[in-house]
Structure 1
Amino acid sequence: MLKDAIPLDQIRRALVIKLRHHGDVLLSSPVLSVLKSHAPHAEIDALVYAETAEMLSLHPALAQLHVIDRNWKKLGALQYLSAEWRLLKALRDRHYDLIVHLTDHPRGAWITYMCNARWAVTRRIGGRGRWWRKAFSHTYPTPANARRHTVEQHLDALRRIGIQPTPQERRLVLVPGHAAEARVTTLLTEAGLNGRPFIHIHPASRWFFKCWDSHRMAHLINRLQAGGHTVVLTAAPDTTERKMIDEIQSKTRTPAVSFAGQLSLKELAALTARARLFIGVDSAPMHIAAAMNTPVVALFGPSGDKEWGPWDGPLGSSHRIVTSLAHPCRPCGMDGCAGSKISDCLASLPLEPVWHAVQELLAQ
């Protein structure tokens, strides 16, 4: 037993801080669930960047969702400071007993310090100043000799304070909401797909060195369509991503249904929840598909699949990860080979192992 475990009956309010990208924030959702499960009397809040709020909003364990808008800096010095002060005041007025800081972001640590919670926990990081050490009552190490999934790394913060999550509690949670469900129903009905099975493909990532070759993706779509499957394509409302969709569509024998640039993150979740299968790369939409319990075929190149692969819990097997066996250098974590923005481990990844993974999941 931990000698410094936190008495859960003394936690009235807790704050979870996750200041990262969309997928990272979604992977923190089990922390909210576990906290609420083990301290059902407590109010659980979260602090995220405004653009990632949809990843946690409507979470059943969430009491309040606080946001940092990175556009505050464009308002001018006075308005920026005013916005920051309002946020800090709102957080301090909640009188948190526990703060869980899930990154090494100095801003989150500074907020923790200013909120003066009785207990605060974060990952153990060397080289930090005295104020950082004073901000946290508990720190936890990360394994130096093993690759650990990000979900489990997040939950290690709770293990450090005496909370042991069960396998069932470690699931991702994402709630699309009624408005998103209704919009997706309308789009599918207009496309003649409402109630019909389809395969959802999201080929792009905000980092294009994580993406597969458009030519091979088009060949995969051709095979799926030849087998009688309907394919639905999505992409972010980004010029480069939509250009990638156009390039893929130009290489297919029959254009796939495309909702590229038309969906919010909640709507993307509502769509992929209805798909028979999701195919994509290391990206937020891949994590969203896993959260919606849709089987996933994920193509990984330079990023670590052990840390960032589709998560369905420690006992799950409803996903397939496809990587190159000819590149012992992966996962290197680089933005393309030698920083070239092109990852050879993905550029040369053949169609057959991807097709095999798709067939495996379709057969289940």
Structure 2
Amino acid sequence: MTDRAALRHLCLLRTSAIGDVTHVVPLVHRLRAHFPEASLTWIVGKLEQRLVGDLPGVEFVVFDKARGWAGMRAVRKALAARRFDALLHMQVALRSNLLSTAVHADRRIGYDRERSRDLHGWFVHERIPARRGEHVLDAIGSFAEPLGVPRGPVHWDIPVPDEARDWAREQIPITAPTLVVSPSSSHALRNWRAERYAAVIDHAAARGLRVLLTGGPSASERAMADAILAAARTRPVDLTGRDTLKRALALFARADMVLTPDSGPMHMANAVGTPVIGLHAASNPARSGPYSDRRWCVDRYDDAARHFLHKPARDLRWGTKIERPGVMDLIGVSDVIERMEALMKHLGIGR
């Protein structure tokens, strides 16, 4: 058991992506509860800081990856005079491994050998326990174990400002059951077809659900939204490009359900307790699906493994992604409607 008094300055390194940063939040709460006197510094991405940067009791050092080496130098300058008792190095990409050299720490804790890559082992001195079959959130949570922090309840409590709550209330002002559709992932090959989203949206509208379409301001997300709107017979409320990360969090909290592929919004919705109809073929929902409740996910990961890799999912290395053209076509409209209907029955909504 690590002496609590011996750990006064802790540094976390996890810069991206939105979903993975969301997974770090329960670890932050556990560390703050176990080491109440310790300072906690988190090196985080510029975009991701907009979601978690107001967590209480945490100092954030922002890494702007768009600036390349200049972004790394800025982090190095910010930490030049600092020394930490421990670094929790929770990202294995080469850029993050190089970024970790900006942190001067007595202990450098990283991933086990099976989950390491890009020379990760060169940048750490200790490793988390090697476990196969863990959800990403549990793997991140295990970084507390070398510090003597036991596993405990998982909770998020990401602050949501009043402005975001007010905006979400304007978008969902009534008690009619609401489905939020967030159709785009940052990985294009995880995206479902626009016309299939449109068919599900039409079904939801016919069953009495108010449907909101959301997404970021990028050209690809605007194009996806436009394709869905063109294919749908009904007219969902189009909020694409109008929200912020905090507004999206508030919106998901007011919704009855969220439909999305494996994406940051999936994990944001889960963090505020809203059931998620997750679309999984390119990725394994047991590893990267909504942490709290995966009953409503459509899981075609094993079908994808057999079709594209010619072996069952159980024979793949844990964490294997099957991001191949056409993989999401393994998910049919009827598959999603069946899960939606089951969730509606569970919630007691819809006509």
**Alignment TM class, shorter chain as reference:** 0.7 to 0.9
Tell me if the contact between 1:310 and 1:319 (Cα under 8 Å) persists in the aligned partners. Answer: no
Q: Partners in 2 of 1:112 and 1:238 — Cα distance?
A: 30
| SS in structure 1 at match of 2:79 | helix
Among 283, 307, 323, the residue aligned to 1:335: 323
Q: Partners in 2 of 1:307 and 1:54 — Cα distance?
A: 25
**Alignment partner of 1:225 is 2:213:** no
| 1:132 CA displacement | 5.6
Amino acid at match of 2:235: P
Tell me if the contact between 2:304 and 2:330 (Cα under 8 Å) persists in the aligned partners. Answer: no
Residues 326 and 102 (structure 1 numbering): CA distance in 2 closer, same or farther, change over 3 Å? Answer: closer
Among 28, 33, 37, the residue aligned to 1:37: 33
| 1:174 CA displacement | 2.6
Structure 1, residues 14-70: CA drift from partner, whole Å, max 9, x if none?
A: 11100332211111111111111111221222101112112321223x421111112
Q: Partners in 1 of 2:243 and 2:104 — Cα distance?
A: 40
Q: Partners in 1 of 2:81 and 2:174 — Cα distance?
A: 47
Amino acid at match of 2:338: H
Residues 112 and 342 (structure 1 numbering): CA distance in 2 closer, same or farther, change over 3 Å? Answer: same
Q: Partners in 2 of 1:262 and 1:165 — Cα distance?
A: 38
Q: Partners in 2 of 1:85 and 1:238 — Cα distance?
A: 28
Length, aligned pairs only: 332
**Alignment partner of 1:171 is 2:155:** yes
The equivalent of 1:63 in structure 2 is 58
Q: Partners in 2 of 1:357 and 1:128 — Cα distance?
A: 39
The equivalent of 1:88 in structure 2 is 76
| SS in structure 2 at match of 1:124 | coil
Matches within 5 A, 1:105-144: 105-110=93-98, 112-125=100-113, 133=122, 136-143=124-131
Q: Partners in 2 of 1:281 and 1:150 — Cα distance?
A: 16
| 1:243 CA displacement | 1.6
Q: Partners in 1 of 2:279 and 2:47 — Cα distance?
A: 25
| 1:359 CA displacement | 1.9
- TM-score when normalising by structure 2: 0.85
Residues 59 and 319 (structure 1 numbering): CA distance in 2 closer, same or farther, change over 3 Å? Answer: farther
Q: Partners in 2 of 1:32 and 1:292 — Cα distance?
A: 17
**Alignment partner of 1:147 is 2:133:** yes
Structure 1, residues 294-348: CA drift from partner, whole Å, max 9, x if none?
A: 1111010111211111012xxxx47522122644437651331xxxx331xx213
| SS in structure 1 at match of 2:110 | strand
Q: Partners in 2 of 1:88 and 1:38 — Cα distance?
A: 28
**Alignment partner of 1:100 is 2:88:** yes
| 1:207 CA displacement | 1.6
| 1:268 CA displacement | 0.8
The equivalent of 1:202 in structure 2 is 182
- TM-score when normalising by structure 1: 0.82
Structure 1, residues 277-304: CA drift from partner, whole Å, max 9, x if none?
A: 1111100011110011111110101112
Residues 137 and 209 (structure 1 numbering): CA distance in 2 closer, same or farther, change over 3 Å? Answer: closer
Structure 1, residues 52-103: CA drift from partner, whole Å, max 9, x if none?
A: 112321223x421111112334xxx8xx3xx644532432444322211102
| SS in structure 1 at match of 2:58 | strand
Amino acid at match of 2:344: L
Q: Partners in 1 of 2:210 and 2:264 — Cα distance?
A: 23
The equivalent of 1:185 in structure 2 is 169
Q: Partners in 1 of 2:305 and 2:45 — Cα distance?
A: 36
**Alignment partner of 1:162 is 2:144:** no
- Listed as ranges, the gaps of 5+ residues in structure 2 are 307-311, 314-319, 347-351
The equivalent of 1:322 in structure 2 is 298
Moved more, 156-165 or 86-95: 86-95
**Alignment partner of 1:275 is 2:255:** yes
Amino acid at match of 2:326: I
% identical equivalent positions: 21
The equivalent of 1:259 in structure 2 is 239
**Alignment partner of 1:12 is 2:8:** yes
- Listed as ranges, the gaps of 5+ residues in structure 1 are none
Q: Partners in 1 of 2:118 and 2:176 — Cα distance?
A: 55
The equivalent of 2:317 in structure 1 is none
| 1:234 CA displacement | 0.5
| SS in structure 1 at match of 2:259 | strand
| SS in structure 2 at match of 1:357 | helix
Q: Partners in 2 of 1:23 and 1:255 — Cα distance?
A: 29
Residues 194 and 93 (structure 1 numbering): CA distance in 2 closer, same or farther, change over 3 Å? Answer: farther
Q: Partners in 2 of 1:220 and 1:257 — Cα distance?
A: 15
| SS in structure 2 at match of 1:98 | strand
Residues 40 and 100 (structure 1 numbering): CA distance in 2 closer, same or farther, change over 3 Å? Answer: same
Among 279, 284, 307, the residue aligned to 2:264: 284
Q: Partners in 2 of 1:66 and 1:205 — Cα distance?
A: 26
